[in-house]
Amino acid sequence: MAQTDELKTVGKRTSRLNGPDIVTGRIGYADDVQVPGMLYGRILRSPHGHARILKIDVSKALALPGVVDVVTGQDVPDTGFFAGDEVCYHGQKVGAVAATDPDIAEDALELIQVDYEVLPAVVDPLMGLAPDAPEAQLGASSQVVNGKRLPNVTSHAVTETGDVEKGFAESDAVVEYEYRVPMFHQTYLEPNAATARVEANGRLTVWTSSQGMFGIRDGLAEALGIPQSQVRVILQEMGGGFGAKNRVNVEGPAAVLALRTGQPVKVTINREEVFMDGRPAPGCWIRLKTGARKDGTLMAVEGQIVWDGGIEGRSGNARRLLGLYKVPNVRIEAFSVRTNKPVPGAYRAPGAPQTALARESNIDMVAHKLGMDPIEFRLKNAIGKGEQPGMDHDWLKDTIRQTAEKARWGRRRLKRNQGMGIACGEWQNGSGPTHADITMRGDGSVTVLTGQADITGVHTVMAQVVAEELDVPVEKVTVTLGDTDTVAYTSLSAGSKAAYSASTVAREAAENTREEVLKRAAAHLEASVEDLVLADEVIRVKGSPGQSVSLAELAEAAIGSAAGPITGRASLGSLKSHPSFSVNIATVEVDPETGRVKLIDLVAAQDVGRALNPMLVEGQIQGGAVQSVGFGLMEGIQYDDQGRVLNPNLLDYAIPTALDVPDIQTVIVEEPCEHGPYGSKGVGEPPIIPGGAAVANAIYSAVGARVTEVPTTPERVVAALKDADSNNR
């Protein structure tokens, strides 16, 4: 087994093995799938935020030449793929058309007549929290809180430790603010697409873009009321997901139309549909009160968080309002509220950027009120080694210090109206079931079969791990993605667990393969396994340089042997995990006349345990930081008072471009953890957490205005400046 201090491949800057295919367009995506006899599906969507469906007439659409089938929720009421007698958000699926041509399918949608009775829409989660609020979904379950029925509340919880009143009484500085965050979208480049086909034996095959094939298989099987064995899911290359492609979406309509028509059906949606009926990050309203002693010791945190949970009333983790600091006295009340918006999904670290905005802003304001440096204040209160499960080192404090050093905090000369802000984030990386099968070819090269979807270069990292353990060049390792028929159950490539779990199982499978190699070589060389050394693709007998056999010779001989080809395999259920920390320091310049904020520098750091591939880790950190800055400065889905989306396109929904973001300086903090492969941790989610909060703190540092609602538009900066000016008079 390779030791971490003598690694040849792991820890090296290796380009993605499929990078050339991606940039040249040779790789296949879900919309590239072509099947003989294929029909084209298009989806009919609700034009209202909330309405009853009184009547649907599809006769004119069915009469259009080229239309093969029209289906609505009245035809397949038990699947949940289409609305029944009520639509609960703008863009909800009402029906679908299958036609011989995509343009005919589009024309057919316009011929479907739907009579609606428009109902009041719940758009603001605070409005939806009221006892007399209209129901976002008629007759849905509700919660009773303090003796009052709250019709749109799906969950209510209180987290309480210590004595909050005493904690604030012992505090020398107390701040309290309200924060607002809208729903914001993952804005992946590739719109959702899927093709479904019913095979001759009646089984359903689905080609799609997803972060996990087994979740799609199981979701389709359950909705359609068929065994999992009757569904096969084949993943294509994914053009972005960031957590949004974790559940069934267009696969449902494609499958229903294919089953009804007996012909293959492809459903591809456009950008507007992605914005209306994707799974954006949830919005929220937060009131947060924070207190500390004059020596900088945090004493109490109290507050409320109301999650904008879309039509299912989903929520995030309220404890992230505390996150990475030691606070003895806490009371947090959390509500999840149903609104007339799509069901929220994951966006890298679900709920963490939202809570970081409030937590890190309050931390900064307490520090300013005490006259303390915001970094010193954080270091004083940061959790340390042994103070939380999995905290084997002072990862957080080390990351704060290294970020500050890189950003030249306190040593950088800033101009007028320029400021620096810091924010921190924390995430517990996950793990999940995964599997790897290794086969050695006759020329000594290696193939790895996995069910782990390849996001952010996971397959490249797996190849590096296998190459490391078998001592072969990484170019001789091929990683192939199987499908639900050919690989063991594999969990989502999500939750900062893909590389964490897949690299572990790849290492174990490679170790098993290595043991088999040495066993076969021992028989071939008439030596004991203990006397063999595998290096540079050759197995040698210690002390006898003339006694050797190459991997290629051994593998070729094995194919025709009684034992057969050289293989190895491993499966994994779960691993213990560790907290991982990210820290951003943003430098901004604010125009106090217009409120325009220019990001002029960003340092993004993360503790990763050990970087299995520093190039890919840097890409993760930089990509997440850009998304977080977008969350803080410009992104947010806008709804009118009827629940209609106002900006469902890339002209009106702003995301950062190369002109908006400077070169991001990355800091990779390496202090190996105990359980991850080679001491690594998951790295995918922490990078998105602190950027928006760091920008908000930098704005305050620059002009003394505290913006508490994102995105931090020029109008909101000007308003905050006016508030600051009036409060100082």
Mean pLDDT across the chain: 95
Q: Can you tell me the distance from the alpha carbon of 372 to that of 24, in angstroms, rounded to the nearest whole number?
A: 53
Gyration radius (Cα) of the chain, Å: 28
Q: Which one of the listed residues 302, 685, 709, 715 is annotated catalytic?
A: 685
Nearest to 24 by CA among 231, 237, 224: 237
How many Cα atoms within 13 Å fall on the side-chain side of residue 18?
Answer: 21
- Beta bridge pairs of residue 604: 584, 666
- Beta bridge pairs of residue 412: none
Residues in the chain: 729
Domain with CATH 3.90.1170.50 in the chain: 33-119+189-240+245-277
Quick one: average pLDDT of 640-648? 98
Could you tell me the fold of the domain covering 4-26+431-572? Aldehyde Oxidoreductase; domain 4 (3.30.365)
Encoded tokens for 199: 């095979």
Nearest to 628 by CA among 680, 597, 583, 581: 583
Q: Looking at 94-98, 112-116, 420-424, 571-575, which range is the least confident one?
A: 571-575
Q: Assign 308 to helix, strand or coil.
A: strand
Nearest to 696 by CA among 613, 599, 583, 593: 599
pLDDT for residue 250 is more than 90:
yes
pLDDT for residue 323 is more than 90:
no
Give residue-wise pLDDT tens across range 365-378. 999 999 999 999 99
- Tokens 């290492």 locate to 507
Active site residue 635: no
Architecture of domain 382-429+577-728 in this structure: 2-Layer Sandwich (3.30)
Q: Can you tell me the distance from the alpha carbon of 51 to that of 133, in angstroms, rounded to the nearest whole number?
A: 16
pLDDT for residue 292 is more than 80:
yes
Quick one: average pLDDT of 715-728? 88
Question: Residue 729's pLDDT is what?
Answer: 58
Give residue-wise pLDDT tens across range 276-291. 999 999 999 999 999 9
Quick one: average pLDDT of 215-236? 98
Could you tell me the fold of the domain covering 33-119+189-240+245-277? Aldehyde Oxidoreductase; domain 3 (3.90.1170)
Question: Residue 1's pLDDT is what?
Answer: 40
Give residue-wise pLDDT tens across range 3-40. 455 899 999 999 999 999 999 999 999 999 999 999 99
C-beta of residue 643 within 8 angstroms of C-beta of residue 48:
yes
pLDDT for residue 726 is more than 80:
no
Question: Residue 4's pLDDT is what?
Answer: 52
Angle between helix 213-224 and 251-261 (nearest 10): 50
Domain with CATH 3.30.365.10 in the chain: 4-26+431-572, 382-429+577-728
pLDDT for residue 130 is more than 80:
yes
Q: Which of 498-502, 511-515, 725-729 has the highest mean pLDDT?
A: 511-515
- Tokens 């040849």 locate to 8
The secondary element (H helix, E strand) that includes residue 144 is: strand 143-145
Give Cα separations from 681 to 29, 391, 401, 500, 608 (angstroms).
Answer: 29, 12, 20, 6, 5
pLDDT for residue 117 is more than 60:
yes
Question: Residue 5's pLDDT is what?
Answer: 59
DSSP-assigned letters across all residues of 689-717: SSHHHHHHHHHHHHHS----BSS--HHHH
Cα angle: 585, vertex 370, 319; to 5 degrees: 60
Q: Work out the number of other CB atoms within 10 angstroms of the CB of residue 665.
A: 17
Q: What is the helix, strand, coil percentage profile of the chain, to 5?
A: 30, 25, 40
Give residue-wise pLDDT tens across range 579-597. 999 999 999 999 999 999 9
Q: Work out the number of other CB atoms within 10 angstroms of the CB of residue 288.
A: 24
